[in-house]
């Protein structure tokens, strides 16, 4: 009987050691973040969107002014005749050209600034997540997207709230 207990204890000890070794050497710690949620609520991204909106307000006022000028000339063209009408038609054509060029320029500028602001914030976020993962001992941090790169994850593996809290704390500290 003692022999069986001894064999059983030895076998159990070997199994426990094997499991511990497996966990130590092969077990990885994988978590995920909801990327869209982080980007939507990260204070730096919110600030970037506000800055972009402020930058574009003046441009939109200029677009509105050019449109009103073009609209006014169009109405004036309809009620005039002769040489004056030709003059106004020419001015209307110039106003329309100015409006279209300026509007296209503003659209391009908006897209470039949006890419610039978003790019900076995403670089900050990626850098933060790398540092955070190393500090927390994570081997992998996966990011979910609306396109479905991760179709399922247990909620206890979702560190989005933790990451958002910490990165916003870092953002607030940097502003001071």
Model pLDDT, residue 157: 84
Domain boundaries, the chain: 2-175
Bridge partners of residue 158, in order along the sequence: 32
The DSSP code for 86 is H
Model pLDDT, residue 36: 87
Q: What number of residues does the chain have?
A: 176
Model pLDDT, residue 5: 55
Question: What does the alpha-carbon distance between residue 14 and residue 8 come to, in Å, rounded to a whole number?
Answer: 10
Largest distance between two CA atoms of the chain: 121
Enumerate residue ranges in the chain where pLDDT < 70. 1-28, 146-152
Bridge partners of residue 141, in order along the sequence: 31
Model pLDDT, residue 20: 41
Tokens 């939507």, residue located: 40
Instruction: Name the CATH topology of 2-175.
Output: Protein Binding, DinI Protein; Chain A (3.30.910)
The answer to whether the beta carbons of residues 128 and 170 sit under 8 Å apart is yes
Model pLDDT, residue 41: 94
Model pLDDT, residue 147: 67
Strand locations in 35-153, DSSP E?
Answer: 140-144
Model pLDDT, residue 2: 54
Model pLDDT, residue 49: 92
Model pLDDT, residue 11: 56
Model pLDDT, residue 25: 52
Backbone angles phi, psi at 42, to 5 degrees: -70, 125
């Amino acid at each position: 009987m003692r022999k069986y207990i001894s064999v059983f204890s030895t076998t159990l000890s070997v199994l426990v050691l094997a499991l511990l070794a497996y966990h130590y050497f092969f077990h990885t710690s994988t978590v995920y973040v909801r990327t869209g949620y982080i980007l939507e609520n990260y204070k730096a991204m919110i600030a970037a969107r506000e800055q972009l909106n402020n930058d574009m307000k003046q441009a939109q006022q200029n677009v509105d002014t050019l449109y009103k000028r073009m609209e006014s000339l169009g109405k004036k063209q309809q009620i005039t005749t002769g040489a004056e009408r030709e003059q106004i038609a020419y001015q209307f054509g110039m106003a329309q050209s100015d409006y279209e060029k300026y509007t296209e320029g503003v659209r391009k500028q908006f897209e470039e600034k949006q890419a610039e602001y978003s790019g900076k914030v995403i670089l900050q976020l990626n850098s933060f997540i790398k540092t955070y993962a190393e500090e927390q001992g994570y081997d992998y941090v996966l990011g979910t997207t609306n396109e479905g790169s991760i179709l399922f994850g247990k909620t206890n593996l979702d560190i989005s709230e933790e990451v958002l809290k910490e990165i916003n704390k870092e953002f607030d500290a940097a502003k001071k």
